[in-house]
Amino acid sequence: MIKYVPQMTSVVIEEIPDRVTLAVDISNCQGNCVGCHSPFLKEDVGEELTNEIIDKLVADNYGVNCFLFLGEGNDPEALIALADHVREIGLSPALYSGRRDVEKALYMTFDYVKVGPYIEHFGPLNSPTTNQRLYKVTHDTSAKPDYRLTDITSRFWHRGIDPNAK
């Protein structure tokens, strides 16, 4: 089961370049970032995120073309199933992970993946010294490997705002 915090759901235009994104905060984070911006997201809080709730959130926010999971939670299979549903209804699934890297199955599932824990002295995504990376994933089932990662982190570096709040 994947749980999200309904009160924190919002439409954002900075987190994923060139996309109008509906972002949901996922709880049960398994990360351990020093200086975590939202320690409560490591707890079992919020409500279950289901396909039906995703449909309603998308219907209530007409015009979004990307759905961003801010965090992975603690149930990879459920996360992938929800992301597959996002793709089935015509949106790009995106993931902000706090881990240094994610499994191939996640790259195969999402169109955008951010990796890297927040490390204060390196800064967030909009800092040119950041350790975090945002990848655009190109899927090609006729090729091996069947996806290609393009590092688009530098898209954030001309901006004077924090796209990631850590």
- Residues at the interface with ligand SF4 (CB under 6 A): 29, 31-33, 36-38, 41-42, 71, 98, 117-118, 166
| Distance in Å, CB of 56 to ligand SF4, minimum | 25
Which C-beta is closer to ligand SF4: that of 115 or that of 137?
115
Going by C-alpha positions, the residue among 1, 82, 83, 3 that lies closest to residue 40 is 3
8 or 152, CB closer to ligand SF4? 8
- The answer to whether the CB of 10 falls within 8 A of the CB of 51 is no
Q: Residues 26, 159: contact at Cβ < 8 Å? A: no
Distance in angstroms (rounded) separating the CA atoms of residues 137 and 162: 23
Are 162 and 140 contacting, i.e. CB atoms less than 8 angstroms apart?
no
Please say which residue, 41 or 58, places its beta carbon nearer to ligand SF4: 41
Q: From residue 10, how far is each of 46, 74, 139 by CA, in Å?
A: 15, 22, 27
Least separation in angstroms between residue 161's CB and ligand SF4 is 18
Cβ of residue 159: shortest distance to ligand SF4, in angstroms?
Answer: 20
Q: Looking at beta carbons, which residue is closest to ligand SF4?
A: 98
Nearer to ligand SF4, 8 or 20 (CB): 8
Q: For ligand SF4, give the closer residue by CB, 133 or 166.
A: 166
CB 112 within 8 A of CB 135: yes
Supply the minimum distance, in Å, between the C-beta of residue 33 and ligand SF4: 3
Tokens of 152: 């688009």
Q: Least distance (Å) from ligand SF4 to the CB of residue 88? A: 27
Strands 112-115 and 133-139: antiparallel
